[in-house]
Amino acid sequence: MIKIRYDLTTLTSKCKKEIPSWCSISWCYIANEAECSVPFSKSEYYEDRFYSYAACGERDLSRSNPLEKSLQDTVLNVAYRVNSGGWLASYHPDGNQNQVPMKRGDQWYGIVPEFIDIFAESSDANINMTEAPLWLYGVANFSSDFTNCVHAVSLGMLDFCAGMFSITTKRAMMTSFFTIETTSMFLIVREESEETFQHRIFCAFQPFTVAAWLCTVAVAVFTTFILLCQESIPGGSNSSQMQVKKKSLLARFGKSIYLGLNAFLGGNVTDELKT
């Protein structure tokens, strides 16, 4: 038994998809081609007729791009530049050793060489992989080979440079750039927190840490104790014979600490030593 399927959906026609998009664009014949200031073309059906899409405010999509047509069979002088890792651009197996003068060949790879190959194929243009005269780089005296290449383009010695370039102010003032891909750049800075009064007080003791200062003071006190013992011998500044008024050992030790720290912080050696 044959089962019949009843489909209520309407079948879509492919005819509309086959109609070129330029069929619905407005165009008109022009009366006098000598006085027409917009693009027009000669009719393929009438020898004495000329038609124009631009006269009706439309673009002629039935023909190739005017820019691509103007580049047909032309020779474009192009210099390639090697990008370092991290850039999505142009590379060569020899790396930076193949910078200036660059090597010609089919070993270049990356999105920029691929783009140029597609561009040359679509426009029928001839790409001449070349280099600007080397004497020009000596005259320009730029530290970057990329800037030297841009300078050569601005002088008309090259048609364009192939690679990923940082569009600096200096380069942008020389010539125009065509952007294929942009690389995001991030500036990372340390967040500045609001300083407290306590933090500002301790800034005077930087760059030493608290532990470093405690160690320094401990060494100064220990050294003062050694000097106290040394100067307590007969003839020393802390000996009982040198004191006009008898002082206890604790008082003499306190004075020694004061003199020692004063000498340390003041940057000079005390003149209280006798031995």
Looking at this protein, which amino acid is placed at residue 9? T
pLDDT single digits (tens) 149-165 = 999 999 999 998 988 88
* pLDDT top residue among 9 and 85: 85
Q: How far is CA 141 from CA 82, 169, 170, in A?
A: 19, 17, 14
216 lies in the same domain as 131 = no
Res 239 pLDDT > 70 = no
Q: What ranges in the chain are assigned the alpha helix state H?
A: 15-18, 66-70, 111-123, 134-140, 145-154, 169-172, 197-203, 210-231, 249-266
Share of the chain above pLDDT 90, in %: 5
77 lies in the same domain as 164 = yes
Res 3 pLDDT > 80 = no
Res 222 pLDDT > 70 = yes
CB atoms within 10 A of CB 51: 19
Give the pLDDT band (50/70/90) at residue 71. Answer: confident
Q: What is the pLDDT of residue 271?
A: 54
Q: Average pLDDT for residues 85-109, to the nearest whole number?
A: 80
119 lies in the same domain as 150 = yes
Domain around 116: 68-172
Q: Average pLDDT for residues 89-116, to the nearest whole number?
A: 83
Distance from C-alpha of 136 to C-alpha of 100, rounded to nearest angstrom = 12
261 lies in the same domain as 205 = yes
- Give me the CATH number covering residue 91: 3.40.190.10
pLDDT single digits (tens) 252-268 = 777 777 777 777 776 66
Q: Average pLDDT for residues 194-203, to the nearest whole number?
A: 76
Q: Average pLDDT for residues 176-202, to the nearest whole number?
A: 79
73 lies in the same domain as 168 = yes
Q: Average pLDDT for residues 122-143, to the nearest whole number?
A: 86
Q: Average pLDDT for residues 71-86, to the nearest whole number?
A: 84
108 falls within a domain:
yes
Distance from C-alpha of 88 to C-alpha of 35, rounded to nearest angstrom = 49
Q: What is the pLDDT of residue 173?
A: 92
Give the pLDDT band (50/70/90) at residue 94. Answer: confident
203 lies in the same domain as 217 = yes
Res 68 pLDDT > 50 = yes
Helices then strands, counting H and E runs in the chain, come out as 9, 6
99 lies in the same domain as 81 = yes
83 lies in the same domain as 166 = yes
5 falls within a domain:
no
Largest CA distance in the chain: 137
Q: What is the pLDDT of residue 194?
A: 76
84 lies in the same domain as 46 = no
Q: What is the pLDDT of residue 1?
A: 45
11 falls within a domain:
no
Q: What is the pLDDT of residue 247?
A: 65
Mean pLDDT of the chain: 77
Res 172 pLDDT > 80 = yes
6 falls within a domain:
no
